[in-house]
Structure 1
Amino acid sequence: MTPVRTRLGLAAAMGAWSARHRKTAVFGWLLFVVLAAALGNAHGSTRITEAESIPGQVSRAARILDEAGLKSPAAETVLVQSATLGADDPGFRAAVGQVVAAVDATGKAAEVRSPYDTKAVSADGHSALVVLTLKGDPEKAVDEVQPVLDAVAGVQKRNPGLTVVELGDASSGKWMQDQMQTDFARAEWTAVPLALGILLVAFGALVAAVLPVVLALTAFVAAAGLVALGSGFLHTSSDASSVMLLVGLAVGVDYCLFYLRREREERAAGRDAATALAVAAATSGRAVLVSGVTVVVAMAGMFLTGIATFQAMAFSTIVVVVTAVLGSLTVLPALLSMLGDRVEKGRVPFLARRRRPEAAGAATGGRFWNAVLTPVLRRPLAATVLAGAALLALAAPLLTMHTAKLTFQQQLPAGNALVAASQKIEAAFPGSPAPATVVIKAADIDSPAMTAAIADLEAKALAGGRMHGPVEVTVHPEKNVATVGIPLNGTGNDTTSNEALRSLREDLVPATVLKVPGTEAPVTGSTAASYDFNRKMTGSMPLVFGFVVAFAFLLMLTSFRSPVVALTAVVLNLLSVGAAYGVLTLVFQHGVGASLLGTAGVGAVESWVPLFLFVILFGLSMDYHVFVVSRIKEGHDRGLPTRAAIAHGIRSTAGVVTSAAVIMVAVFSVFGSLSMQVMKQMGVGLAVAVLIDATVIRAVLLPSVMTLLGDLNWYLPRWLRRLPDLSHGESAPAATAPATAPETPMASPMASPVGAPSRR
């Protein structure tokens, strides 16, 4: 019989080409990874500047200072405090003198000011602040501050009865930089062995387990180089690098897992090596392609925020996902073609005995999944109501969510020495660690009118009750620029601080310095940064949400040719995201269960985390949805009734969904164990959402809802039939008959070519 030629989809065509040109695909991939990494390393990364990172008045203030060539030197403060001695006591004065002398002797300080000169003595007389600035470029101060820290530590050692601690931009920046490097390294060395161990359990063979991890890591290395190369026109950030590792490892391993498990399943069902690989390329390869495109589309929504940090994250994630998809569709089929059944080499005896053959697993789904799926399919309405109510209950705390750019104290772990120092300084000198700064640009900064206006601003700020002293005024006559530092009441990002900021911006500044013609006076500072970032993010969220949901719906519609399937996917994803938001709010804002994660409730969720979680989760959850629904549709297109097709799809994907979910949850949980609060929030949010998505959504809600909808799942209105059709890639080349006995429909999803009705 002459074989029927079928048009292959993109994924199937790429897999077929790679299998035919194995050496070209493998060595081409290696060359690509090496070149991308080498060129990226040679180019280096260009980081986001302060003027780019925060929108609004904060950005304008940074540009005024940059244009004037003014860089605020890195400022440090040293607190000298005693529970019994007053600032005028000889012992106290001696300790202050030791601090000034020791810091000055390092040669790193441009200026050291005694509290007896600046009047920086607390109201109770038991605390004093030595104020200093560091020499050189403030952006490099973190590399120069260590001798000063050592000098202050030496004074503390000589005066055990006093508290002598340092805090400032450079000292806190150094701690965070060092901690980020430590955490990043720990994440790499923890997540990779975890993923490898889970894959070893899933496959029971060392080669099969190592393959996805190696491909994921090489994809990350290549993507990191490409991002560095692209940072010349789209600047990157340390947060973007962390996100790229997080997402790259998760999706890279998952995509390879989908592909490899399907190939192994077809081989176990009796297919020859070439046919098994072709089937995997046409089915799992297509699922990987659709899932990857969905993640890219979702991440592209972050560009609509206009916030440089989000754009850097979006760019990094898009690059690593595209690279992972490319590797999964090219080098993976080439390697599988080379290895053949040797991919099962290095089998672990105990694990190998426990594993069921792939074909059997595909047919039955295992005891656990059968125990869940059987009652769900028997009573779909009850399952839908119960699971839906549980997710809505988890999502309920979302209604109380408060987002803010977390302060230094909130970001660091409880009990941290720098946090303790900050709290002591703030208690003795309220507001001083993070004052608001009015950056004034005038036609003539020394004019009598401007001098009077600045004095008026200072007087009104102190008289209003929402701000307090000391107010620091610095004038740069040659640049016609002045800065006015005004401490705000509150913690820095709470309601009290925000109200003080609004009063300063909307009432005091317009009533004073802005009355002088030709004047600009944006207000910056940490409170202003949090406020502006939140406003920009809140304003852009509806646009981003709408963009992501609309494109995800269209992609699912064109992929499955069903508006009902597309709408179901969107609604179920929104439910899992909402539940993740609720858990995030409950744990990190209200502190419920936070101690189990080594942290405490900090009263807020980091500003960018909810939007980031939305786009990432909306993309990643499509991994499972596309993979599972593709198998359901395969069964339906072969002639199975909808309920039987659902049972077949869920059971045949149970093992791979479980393995993929465990890997993602494990990788994300590693980030939830890191020191920085924002990394904890991101990791826990992703882990919870994936866990919910792979269990409640995929095992309960998806089958129950699709069972209730019945044949409506496959309904395509006549007026939509002219839409682009992306579903043709589901077809695989006609399989050669296996040597085994004829298979039942449940035993092999490829008993007849996908897309053709069953003749049985």
Structure 2
Amino acid sequence: MTTADHPTRATARSATPPQPGAAADTPTRLGPLGRLGVLAAGRLRLVAVLWLALVAGLGAFAPQVTSALAGAGWQANGSESVQVRDLAQAHFGGNASSALQVVVAADRPVDDPSVRAVVDRATALLRADSRIAEVVPPQNGVTTSPDGRTAIVLAGARADTNDMVRAADDLKGPLAALSGDGVEVSATGASVLWSDFNKANHDAMIKSEMLSWPVTLAILVLAFGSLVAAGLPLLLTLAGLAASAGALVLLNHVTPTSVWAMNFAMMFALALGIDYALFLVVRFRAALARHGDARRAVGETMDTAGKAVLLSGATVLVSLSAVMLVPAPAFRSMALGIMLAVAFVLAATLTLLPAVLGRLGHKVNAAAPPWTRRDADRAGASVAFTSWGERLWRHPLRHGIPALLVLIALAAPIIGLRTAMPSITVVPEDSSARTGYTAVQRAFGPGAPGMLQIVTPTAAADATAAALAGDPGIAGVMPARHADDGSALTMLQAMPSVDPSDPKLADTVDRLRGTLPDDAKVGGAAVENLDLQATLDAKTPLVLGVVLGLGFLLLLLALQAPLAALLGTATSLLATAAAFGAARLIFQDGHGSGLLGFTPQGFLDGWAPVFFFAMIFAIAMDYTVFLLASAKEHYEKTRDPRQAVVGALGHSGRVIFAAAAVMVAVFFTFALSGPLPPKEMGIVLGLAVLLDAALVRLVLLPVLLRLTGHAAWWSPRWLRRILPDIRFSHD
């Protein structure tokens, strides 16, 4: 749909009065973003004050972010296992899955006076904590091992799961300090596991981020060709991070927010801050070289590249919002944390960045090494990537077919991909949770760390106990416990015959839920993991469908070209599939595990398909928007498919390449982390960005645009009538 189709719109745009403070020769035919950019460029002081007030106001809460945010939330809300946990906490002295178990392992019998003294001190520590409900000393035949050398003190949960993780944070150190003289004291259980898991992974991510900063800064200088310009992404990142950190602390007062939300928010704020700043600065430089006036250059930049950035941000937000369909607090809050960071970085890009560019003007090129300008032609396009676009246009199949074959070959293993919740091996060997887990397993049997909790009406307790005892997957049943408050409920605890991470446990739980009396509910920490995995498996097709559907609709809205939107969406999906196929070879089958320093679990962690897919697709669509928006802009100007492809690569190829290089460097540093989850995240996301940028955006998608020609940009008349008139070209 062209401007000529809508004379009233064209008249309205041409009649727009010049903005206050704008240069006299600033074009008046600016859209809303162009006018916003010119307005910001003329009012740096006002924009800076507003942003300083926002960052200072929210940033005041930022120091609390690591201590205030939640450590739990890895559960399927409404599941049977969560119902069991709530019942156990309310009616059985807090003996829920979130309770703490303190394991005392000695080289002599636990009834030795010196060992009993350690048990008494551990019991006193637990009883002194207000978050602990009932403390149950070791009981012979139940929580004392057959050889008499290992005992378990049970500390019931009085607080919610997040506060119990904080209790584990506070108690595991003092409890471990009781060890000595042949006695080892370890806190274990689900709350301690998440405490150790969060600490190990948080430390690893901070270490990786520190390692990535020097590489990031070096690539930024190379990409921007100026020390001054290279600092602009950091300006956006810092503003977005400070604001989002404070917002997360405030959000945590409304709903528990995972501590992981801040880690992912930091990652996306840096990645998108770089992407958006690169795209706008490159365009600003080209406009500045043509017009010589900073505000006019800002207006043109925002009227063209600004639209692409806004569309990209909307696509990222939409992709991540689909994760909210998973009824797991940790997933929802992590997605929300990233969305907050994206929203703040996007707002800073559309207001603060044009204000700074307007003031900098030609100083944006200050401290630029002389060799950095050799790659730009008079229009600001990269000579190297323009030449690459010409080569792709002349020989599309020569380059497109190998790229397609590589992506298909990498995507093929996804067919055999298996997922499961992580095992105890994801925390360090010397962590409290793992030390206690190993001691319990050694003393009581392989299934002891994954005790099943069954809550049943008291009238059905005998039948439930009999069914448990007769199940081949159960190694033993503990004595029944009646509700403390007189409710007609009874809890039975059953020890599986296999390790909690063994796939056979899922078969046992499914079988019990089918054979136990109707009102009996099966739970326990291991079952909560199984229920979460089942929920993730069930929701994955829906999340993937929503992400793909909304991504396509956003591209269609912006491009008004169904085929181009379809090609952009399909190629993003192909790059994502290739990344997951490679992840299966590495993390499930173990190829390269020795080099990367991990022991394969035989599966990919259960949250990867949903959460990583949304993140990968958001990043892939970010590059897609930059390329297709630039291609659409050139097509609007020339109506020439060749100019669309070559011009898009010339103007956005360098941006995509540089931004991808930064993100690959950042993500791959996580492969150096000790714990497995950051390795998975770093490798999967890094491979996805590498494949998407190198094979899809810079090869396959331009080739497909070349082969489809004018058809890629065709739009039926009825569609043009219902879609808004969005143009990327600037008159």
The equivalent position to 1:147 in structure 2, one of 146, 170, 174, is 174
The equivalent position to 2:508 in structure 1, one of 481, 500, 515, is 500
Contact 1:55 1:536 in 2 (8 A): no
State the Cα deviation string for residues 717-745 of structure 1 (Å, max 9, x = none): 122111222523x243xxxxxxxxxxxxx
| Counterpart AA for 1:155 | D
The alignment status of 1:14 with 2:36, answered yes or no, reads: yes
Give runs of aligned pairs for residues 22-37 of structure 1, distance below 5 A.
Answer: 22-37=44-59
User: Residue 142 of structure 1: CA displacement?
Assistant: 2.7
Residue in 2 that maps onto 1:599: 598
Residue in 1 that maps onto 2:125: 108
Give runs of aligned pairs for residues 281-300 of structure 1, distance below 5 A.
Answer: 281-300=302-321
Residue in 2 that maps onto 1:701: 700
Q: Relative to 1, partners in 2 of residues 1:477 and 1:623: Cα closer, same or farther, differing over 3 Å?
A: closer
Alpha-carbon distance in structure 2 between the residues aligned to 1:472 and 1:683 = 46
| Counterpart AA for 2:513 | R
Residue in 2 that maps onto 1:196: 217
| Counterpart AA for 1:706 | L
Partner SS for 1:438: strand
The equivalent position to 1:464 in structure 2, one of 468, 471, 489, is 471
Partner SS for 2:721: coil
Alpha-carbon distance in structure 2 between the residues aligned to 1:647 and 1:597 = 39
Partner SS for 2:481: strand
Contact 1:251 1:321 in 2 (8 A): yes
User: Residue 234 of structure 1: CA displacement?
Assistant: 3.8
Q: Relative to 1, partners in 2 of residues 1:221 and 1:69: Cα closer, same or farther, differing over 3 Å?
A: farther
The alignment status of 1:130 with 2:151, answered yes or no, reads: yes
User: Residue 59 of structure 1: CA displacement?
Assistant: 2.3
Residue in 2 that maps onto 1:215: 236
Contact 2:587 2:593 in 1 (8 A): yes
The alignment status of 1:488 with 2:496, answered yes or no, reads: yes
Residue in 2 that maps onto 1:668: 667
Alpha-carbon distance in structure 2 between the residues aligned to 1:223 and 1:370 = 38
Residue in 2 that maps onto 1:64: 87
Q: Relative to 1, partners in 2 of residues 1:100 and 1:585: Cα closer, same or farther, differing over 3 Å?
A: farther
The equivalent position to 1:359 in structure 2, one of 374, 377, 398, is 377
Kindly tell me the number of residue pairs found equivalent between the two proteins. Answer: 690
Q: Relative to 1, partners in 2 of residues 1:526 and 1:404: Cα closer, same or farther, differing over 3 Å?
A: farther
Residue in 2 that maps onto 1:93: 109
Give runs of aligned pairs for residues 261-660 of structure 1, distance below 5 A.
Answer: 261-269=282-290, 271-347=292-368, 349=369, 352-356=370-374, 358-359=376-377, 362-366=380-384, 369=385, 373=389, 375-409=391-425, 411-413=426-428, 419=434, 422-423=437-438, 425-428=440-443, 429-440=445-456, 442=457, 445=458, 450=459, 453-480=460-487, 481-507=489-515, 509-510=516-517, 514=518, 520-639=519-638, 641-660=640-659
Alpha-carbon distance in structure 1 between the residues aligned to 2:420 and 2:154 = 29
Partner SS for 1:34: helix
Q: Relative to 1, partners in 2 of residues 1:431 and 1:96: Cα closer, same or farther, differing over 3 Å?
A: farther
State the Cα deviation string for residues 246-286 of structure 1 (Å, max 9, x = none): 22221122112211122123334564322322222122211
Contact 2:60 2:246 in 1 (8 A): yes
User: Residue 384 of structure 1: CA displacement?
Assistant: 3.1
Partner SS for 2:392: helix
The alignment status of 1:182 with 2:203, answered yes or no, reads: yes
Q: Relative to 1, partners in 2 of residues 1:418 and 1:70: Cα closer, same or farther, differing over 3 Å?
A: closer
User: Residue 679 of structure 1: CA displacement?
Assistant: 2.6
Partner SS for 2:638: coil
Contact 2:93 2:156 in 1 (8 A): no
User: Residue 304 of structure 1: CA displacement?
Assistant: 2.2
User: Residue 711 of structure 1: CA displacement?
Assistant: 0.9
RMSD: 3.1
User: Residue 391 of structure 1: CA displacement?
Assistant: 0.9
Contact 2:589 2:600 in 1 (8 A): yes
Alpha-carbon distance in structure 2 between the residues aligned to 1:303 and 1:46 = 18
| Counterpart AA for 2:261 | A
State the Cα deviation string for residues 126-160 of structure 1 (Å, max 9, x = none): x84211134885612430232220112x134xx7x
Alpha-carbon distance in structure 1 between the residues aligned to 2:89 and 2:109 = 39
Tell me which moved more, 494-503 or 176-185.
Answer: 176-185
The alignment status of 1:681 with 2:680, answered yes or no, reads: yes
Partner SS for 1:725: coil
State the Cα deviation string for residues 648-695 of structure 1 (Å, max 9, x = none): 211222221111101111222233433432232222211111111111
Q: Relative to 1, partners in 2 of residues 1:184 and 1:558: Cα closer, same or farther, differing over 3 Å?
A: same
| Counterpart AA for 2:441 | E
State the Cα deviation string for residues 613-637 of structure 1 (Å, max 9, x = none): 2222222212211111222222222
Partner SS for 1:145: helix
User: Residue 580 of structure 1: CA displacement?
Assistant: 1.2
Q: Relative to 1, partners in 2 of residues 1:620 and 1:178: Cα closer, same or farther, differing over 3 Å?
A: closer
Give runs of aligned pairs for residues 39-54 of structure 1, distance below 5 A.
Answer: 45=68, 47=70, 53-54=76-77
Unaligned runs of at least 5 residues, structure 2: 1-13, 16-24, 128-134
Contact 2:204 2:678 in 1 (8 A): no
Alpha-carbon distance in structure 1 between the residues aligned to 2:157 and 2:484 = 22
Alpha-carbon distance in structure 2 between the residues aligned to 1:399 and 1:524 = 31
User: Residue 27 of structure 1: CA displacement?
Assistant: 1.4
Tell me which moved more, 608-617 or 70-79.
Answer: 70-79
Alpha-carbon distance in structure 2 between the residues aligned to 1:691 and 1:545 = 21
Residue in 1 that maps onto 2:262: 241
Contact 1:430 1:489 in 2 (8 A): yes
Q: Relative to 1, partners in 2 of residues 1:672 and 1:431: Cα closer, same or farther, differing over 3 Å?
A: same
Tell me which moved more, 411-420 or 192-201.
Answer: 411-420
Partner SS for 1:482: strand
Contact 2:222 2:372 in 1 (8 A): no
Tell me which moved more, 234-243 or 607-616.
Answer: 234-243
Give runs of aligned pairs for residues 702-717 of structure 1, distance below 5 A.
Answer: 702-717=701-716
Residue in 2 that maps onto 1:740: none
Alpha-carbon distance in structure 2 between the residues aligned to 1:498 and 1:203 = 53
Q: TM-score, normalised by structure 1?
A: 0.83
User: Residue 25 of structure 1: CA displacement?
Assistant: 1.0
User: Residue 57 of structure 1: CA displacement?
Assistant: 0.5
State the Cα deviation string for residues 578-633 of structure 1 (Å, max 9, x = none): 01111122211221112332212111222222111222222221221111122222
Partner SS for 1:485: strand
Contact 1:98 1:155 in 2 (8 A): no
State the Cα deviation string for residues 207-245 of structure 1 (Å, max 9, x = none): 211221122122011012223223344431122222222
| Counterpart AA for 2:51 | W
Residue in 2 that maps onto 1:84: none
Alpha-carbon distance in structure 1 between the residues aligned to 2:64 and 2:198 = 22
State the Cα deviation string for residues 3-44 of structure 1 (Å, max 9, x = none): 896553333232122112221111111111111223577899
State the Cα deviation string for residues 149-198 of structure 1 (Å, max 9, x = none): 0112x134xx7xxx886644565454334324423432443344432222
Contact 1:195 1:213 in 2 (8 A): no
The alignment status of 1:121 with 2:120, answered yes or no, reads: no
Contact 1:78 1:165 in 2 (8 A): yes
Alpha-carbon distance in structure 1 between the residues aligned to 2:541 and 2:310 = 27
